[in-house]
Amino acid sequence: MPDLKVKLGPLELRNPVLSASGTYGHGLEMCHFTPPERLGGLVSKTVTPRPRPGNAAPRICETEAGLINSIGLENRGLDAYVADTLPTMAGADTVVFTNIGGESPEEFADVAARLDAEEAVDALEINLSCPNVDGGRLPFATSPESAARVVALVRAATEKPIFAKLSPNVAGLGDIARAVEEAGADGVTAVNTLLALSVDWRTGQPGVATVQGGYSGPAIKPVALRCAWECARSVSIPVIGCGGVATADDVLEYLVAGCTAVQLGTACFADPALPGRVVADLDRKLAEAGVATAAELIGTIADGRPAAGGSRDAHLQEAAR
Ligand SMILES: Cc1cc2nc3c(=O)[nH]c(=O)nc-3n(C[C@H](O)[C@H](O)[C@H](O)COP(=O)(O)O)c2cc1C
């Protein structure tokens, strides 16, 4: 049996498959579809300091090859998360990431400080796509300075590993990844949704009430994969890939592009049992290809740079021919 374990900075994951924030419940809602102990980790929906009702409906719209959403970070707030969700997570035999949000760097830091004391939380993922209320509501993820400021304050507020979730809607993603690494992130998640629009030409009605929304699903995989690769070649901390993943082959592509772990999002709406099956398929595909460990594939893309995880074996080269 191939060894699926990966080392994600200070964390050991039993396999590289994680859920993506906002698409797989908030806690253990999906555990009857895939037991947590089958997964590398679970990522919560974004938790903000205060409850948020989210945006007006419609908030989700299907397109030809993906989904546009504008949920607006609906959640019951930090108090409810700590009181109601975390106690149920304590027994979950997997790595638990809490994805955090805020309207200012200080709010992110406050949430991080509060969660620092919570044993059920293994790591924080920082949703830098939250709008910066003091910065013209531009997402923190859109400049190296604002992204780094959030990460630096969160770093000072917690001992837990922190992962900065970046946005694809930027120029110079590598510079932003480097800025959050310098600010103390243990890793980077690449990426959140792509800005998108759908409209019914007959009625003029946009697909979501906020007019523009975040695009996800199979259509974004090549874009997100490029983003993840750009991050991986820009930083020395681990990268978690995210965007359009639906199969074990997709996961393996992200590993080869330089990611250490991979999140499954929109694909889980159609099939909530998918993450468990992807893990089983990973085992089978690696065994068939004669690859002993998932880790040895990391960063083995032939882009002229040395691989992070290992060197590409001759038999894999042969299989690709
Ligand atoms: C309905 C929906 C809700 C989401 N909510 C969050 C969220 O609360 N926080 C966050 O960081 N990302 C959120 N995301 C983004 C996903 O975690 C992921 O980055 C994105 O959907 C791309 O991956 P995918 O193509 O596999 O879905 C959400 C995505 C969707 C579709």
Per-residue pLDDT of 130-153, as tens digits, reads 998 888 899 999 999 999 999 999
- Ligand 1 pocket mutation pick from 48, 52, 129, 193 by most atoms within 8 angstroms of CB: 193
Does 231 qualify as catalytic in the annotation?
Answer: no
Span from the CA of 9 to the centroid of ligand 1 (angstroms)? 23
Res. 112 pLDDT band, cuts 50 70 90: very high
245-299 per-position pLDDT tens digit: 999 999 999 999 999 999 999 999 999 999 999 999 999 999 999 999 999 999 9
Pocket test for ligand 1, best of 266, 268, 271, 274 (most atoms within 8 A of CB): 266
- Segment 114-132 shows an average pLDDT of 96
Query: How far is Cα 114 from Cα 79, in angstroms, rounded to an integer?
Result: 10
pLDDT of residue 160: 98
Closest residue by Cα to residue 25 from 41, 43, 37: 43
At 309 the pLDDT is: 53
Looking at 20-29, 84-93, 162-171, 305-314, which range is the least confident one? Answer: 305-314
> CB of 116 within 8 A of CB of 158?
yes
Cβ atoms of 163 and 186 within 8 Å: the answer is yes
| Listed range (32-41, 85-94, 304-313) with the worst mean pLDDT | 304-313
The token pair that represents 109 in the structure block: 């830091």
* Segment (H or E) for 19: strand 17-19
Residues with CB under 6 A from ligand 1: 20-23, 45-46, 67, 69, 71, 73, 99, 127, 165, 192-193, 216-217, 220, 242-245, 264-266
43 Cα: distance to centroid of ligand 1 (angstroms) = 10
CA 200 from chain centre, in angstroms, equals 31
What does the block give as tokens for 230? Answer: 């750009």
**pLDDT mean across residues, the chain:** 95
Instruction: Give the Cα separation of 176 and 169 in Å (integer).
Output: 12
Report CA(214)–ligand 1 centroid distance (Å).
8
Determine the pLDDT at residue 315.
42
Nearest CA to ligand 1 atom 21: 216
CA angle at residue 202 from 197 to 203, to 5 degrees? 75
Does residue 319 surpass a pLDDT of 70? no
Percent pLDDT > 70 in the chain is 95
Per the listing, tokens 């959640």 go with 75
Q: Which of 18, 21, 129 to mutate to test the pocket of ligand 1 (most atoms within 8 A of CB)?
A: 21
Measured from the Cβ of residue 82, the count of other Cβ atoms closer than 10 Å reads 18
What residues contact 217, with CB distance under 8 A and at least 6 apart?
65, 66, 67, 244, 265, 266, 267
CA–CA dist 321, 314 (Å, integer)? 11
What fold, for 6-54+72-192+216-320? TIM Barrel (3.20.20)
DSSP state of 40: S
What is the whole-number distance in angstroms between the Cα of residue 21 and the centre of ligand 1?
5
Reported pTM? 0.96
Position 308 confidence tier, pLDDT thresholds 50, 70, 90: low
- Residue 257 in tokens: 């592009």
Q: Which of 29-38, 133-142, 307-316 has the lowest mean pLDDT?
A: 307-316
